[in-house]
A and B are shown apart, each in its own frame.
Chain A
Amino acid sequence: MRFTICAAKPEDCKDIARMIMELAVYEKMPDQVKISHKELERDGFGPNPFYQCLVAEVPEEHKSKDGHTKVGYALFFYTYSTWKGRTVYMEDLYVMPEYRGKGMGKALIATVAKVAKEQHCVRLQFSVLDWNKPSLDFYLSKGAEDLTAKEGWHFLRFHGIALDNLAQEAP
Chain B
Amino acid sequence: MANFILRKAEPKDVSDILRLIKELAKFEEMEDQVILTEKDLLEDGFGDHPFYHCILAEVPKQQQSADGHVIIGFAMYYFTYDPWIGKLLYLEDFYVMKEFRGFGIGSEILKKLSQTAVRTRCSSMHFIVAEWNKSSIEFYKRRGASDLSLEEGWRLFKIDKQNLTANTNKKR
Q: Residues on A close to B: CB < 8 A?
A: 16, 20, 24, 29, 32-35, 39-40, 43-44, 50-51, 75, 77-86, 89, 91-92, 103, 106-107, 109-110, 113-114, 116-117, 121-131, 139, 142-149, 151-167, 169, 171
Contact = CB atoms under 8 A, between A and B. Distances in A.
Contacts, number: 255
B132 A144 contact: no
B25 A83 contact: yes
A83 B160 CA distance: 13
Contact of A171 (B111, B129, B130, B149): B111
B36 A158 contact: no
Interface in B104-142: 104, 107-108, 110-111, 114-115, 117-118, 122-132, 137, 140
Given A83-B25, A127-B155, 11 more contacts: A20-B84, A32-B85, A79-B78, A123-B159, A142-B163, A156-B137, A158-B114, A163-B123, A166-B111, A166-B125, A169-B107
Interface of B: 21, 24-25, 30, 33-36, 40, 44, 51-52, 76, 78-87, 90, 92-93, 104, 107-108, 110-111, 114-115, 117-118, 122-132, 137, 140, 143-150, 152-168, 170, 172
A50 B79 contact: yes
B44 A125 contact: no
Given A83-B35, A103-B172, A127 B154 contact: yes
Counting chain B CB atoms within 10 Å of each CB, the highest count among A83, A103, A124 belongs to: A83
Contacts of B158: 123-125, 144-145, 147
Given A86-B51, A117-B168, A156-B126, A77 B155 contact: no
21 contacts: A34-B86, A35-B85, A78-B51, A84-B33, A85-B35, A86-B44, A110-B167, A113-B159, A113-B164, A127-B156, A130-B153, A144-B157, A145-B157, A148-B156, A153-B131, A153-B156, A157-B126, A158-B125, A159-B146, A162-B144, A167-B117
A167 B149 CA distance: 24
A148 B149 contact: yes
Given A33-B84, A131-B153, A162-B146, A155 B161 contact: no
